[in-house]
Amino acid sequence: MTYGNEEFLPILLGTGVGAYNIARSLHEEFGVRSLALGRVALRETRNSRIIDVRASNEFDDPDEIVRQLHALADEFPGRTLLLIGTVEYYVNVLIDHREELGDRFVIPLVDRELADQLINKTDFYATCDALGVPHPRTVVLTPDARGDAGLGDDLPFAYPVILKPSNTDVYPRLRFEGKQKIYLLDDAAAVREVAERIFAAGYQDDLLVQEYLEGDESVMRVANTYSDRNGQLTFVSVGQVVLADHDPGMVGNYDAILSVDDPDLIASLGTLLNAVHYTGSANFDVMRDRRDGVSKVLELNVRQGGASYYAMAAGGNIPARIVQDWIYGKPTPYAATTQERLWLNLPYPLAVIYAPRGLRSRVRAAGRKGAKHTLWYRPDMSPTRLVDVLRVDARHALSTIKYARRGMNR
């Protein structure tokens, strides 16, 4: 089976929509087929002509991942192997084992020191403070605060508040009753109760209590960027969230995004990324504060976001920039997407029905120009693949109907 072309072979760690996003972007630009590795072949990447999945139930062991990658390099001697992690866990494995893998794979990632500075939210907000990058006001709760009867009292902002883990590598692997990605809490007693549950589950890093920026999806934004090997930002695409996944276990995932222009946010991201000499792709979660109209950064992931195909819908191909920069050694001129285009991860009518009222006219206008759905890719639509995509769409549609607040009431 043929993968890649004479210049490179794309290898993706992960088998979800993020992997398919990258594989499709590379196929559209270079006509290449990608190889994906992960624990199971998910429907998003199953039965595809543009991405082949090799599954191993041992992929929860970093040492086994490294062993299998070396075996893969032996299988393709003389090929230039481009290795991209599509989820947090795999990205961290690659960063931690770069010295073992760097001679055999091209790994377009930052080093461990910078990754820790940006992934750990305590350090990330300190960096934003130092550079003047807007972000929500935050109080850090260390593990030493466990059992403090006054925990959550005398905060410098009012309730309700957001509580979330600083370490987003360790926390997702914990299991405990009532676990959520983030928590919206009404008082100090709730802060103490949730913090105790998290610490009791074995979490040993900081927790963050943050001011709550009120609003529905209309105040939620994302940004995906690319910075070249010289540490200069060369691409930005900002997206206005239209539909977030309201399933409590899937908070932070998106089902519809409208690409938008946000010059102030773009400037802030440039200040941050260029100051730390960032390299590679990055994904930001952002909230627009209704009180002052400022877009405030919540977090950074040192990879593309799973919903980053919205940037392709707006005319920006991040994976192609990685190839041009790291494989062909060509400059990647600066660009930012500014046109409003609609990306979907579920049927279009639901995006219109459940979008916040203030966004619906813009969603319809963008939809008339042609909405883009990551998985609906005509060159990859065999009958078997069609069934898989329809089942994924049905899953997202049912989740939206079950969990989303009634669109008519917003």
68-99: per-residue pLDDT in tens?
999 999 999 999 999 999 998 999 999 999 99
Alpha carbon of 32 to those of 17, 52, 93, 150: distances in Å?
18, 11, 25, 58
2-48: per-residue pLDDT in tens?
999 999 999 999 999 999 999 999 999 999 999 999 999 899 999 99
Token output for 356: 């916040």
pLDDT at residue number 408: 39
Can you list the residues of the chain whose pLDDT is less than 70?
248-252, 405-410
Q: Are 213 and 296 in contact (CB under 8 A)?
A: yes
177-218: per-residue pLDDT in tens?
989 888 999 999 999 999 999 999 999 999 999 999 988 889
pLDDT at residue number 46: 94
Q: Are 343 and 373 in contact (CB under 8 A)?
A: yes
Cβ neighbours for 311, distance < 8 A, ≥ 6 positions apart:
224, 237, 239, 259, 317, 318, 337
Q: Are 379 and 49 in contact (CB under 8 A)?
A: yes
Instruction: Name the class of domain 9-107.
Output: alpha beta
Computed on alpha carbons and rounded to an integer, the radius of gyration of the chain in Å comes to 21
Q: Are 307 and 44 in contact (CB under 8 A)?
A: no
pLDDT at residue number 409: 40
Q: Which residues in 350-364 are b (16+ Cβ under 10 Å) and which e?
A: bbbbbbbeebbebbe
pLDDT at residue number 181: 84
Q: Among candidates 377, 332, 380, 330, which has minimal Cα distance to 7?
A: 330
Length of the chain: 410
Q: Among candidates 42, 41, 17, 22, which has minimal Cα distance to 33?
A: 22
Amino acid code (one letter) for 277: H
- Name the superfamily (CATH) of residues 137-211: ATP-grasp fold, A domain (3.30.1490.20)
Q: Which residue has the tokens 């996944």?
A: 245
- Name the superfamily (CATH) of residues 217-409: ATP-grasp fold, B domain (3.30.470.20)
CA angle 366, 320, 334 (to 5 degrees): 75
Alpha carbon of 19 to those of 181, 193, 307: distances in Å?
22, 37, 11
pLDDT at residue number 403: 82
Using CA atoms, how far apart are residues 18 and 23, in angstroms rounded to an integer?
9
Q: Which residue has the tokens 């995906």?
A: 224
Q: Are 298 and 135 in contact (CB under 8 A)?
A: yes
3-state secondary structure the chain: CCCCCCCCEEEEECCCHHHHHHHHHHHHHHCCCEEEEECCCCCCCCCCCCEEEEECCCCCCHHHHHHHHHHHHHHCCCCCEEEEECCHHHHHHHHHCHHHHCCCCECCCCCHHHHHHHHCHHHHHHHHHHHCCCCCCEEEECHHHCCCCCCCCCCCCCCCEEEEECCCCCHHHCCCCCCCCCEEECCHHHHHHHHHHHHHCCCCCCEEEEECCCCCHHHEEEEEEEECCCCCEEEEEEEEEEEECCCHHHCCCEEEEEEECCHHHHHHHHHHHHHCCCCEEEEEEEEECCCCCCEEEEEEECCCCCCCHHHHHCCCCHHHHHHHHHCCCCCCCCEECCCCCEEECCCHHHHHHHCCHHHHHHHHHHHHCCCEECCCCHHHCCHHHHHHHHHHHHHHHHHHHHHCCCHHHC
Q: Among candidates 114, 157, 128, which has minimal Cα distance to 294?
A: 128
Residue ranges covered by each domain of the chain: 9-107, 137-211, 217-409
Phi, psi angle pair for 401, to nearest 5°: -65, -40
Using CA atoms, how far apart are residues 37 and 83, in angstroms rounded to an integer?
10
Amino acid code (one letter) for 62: P
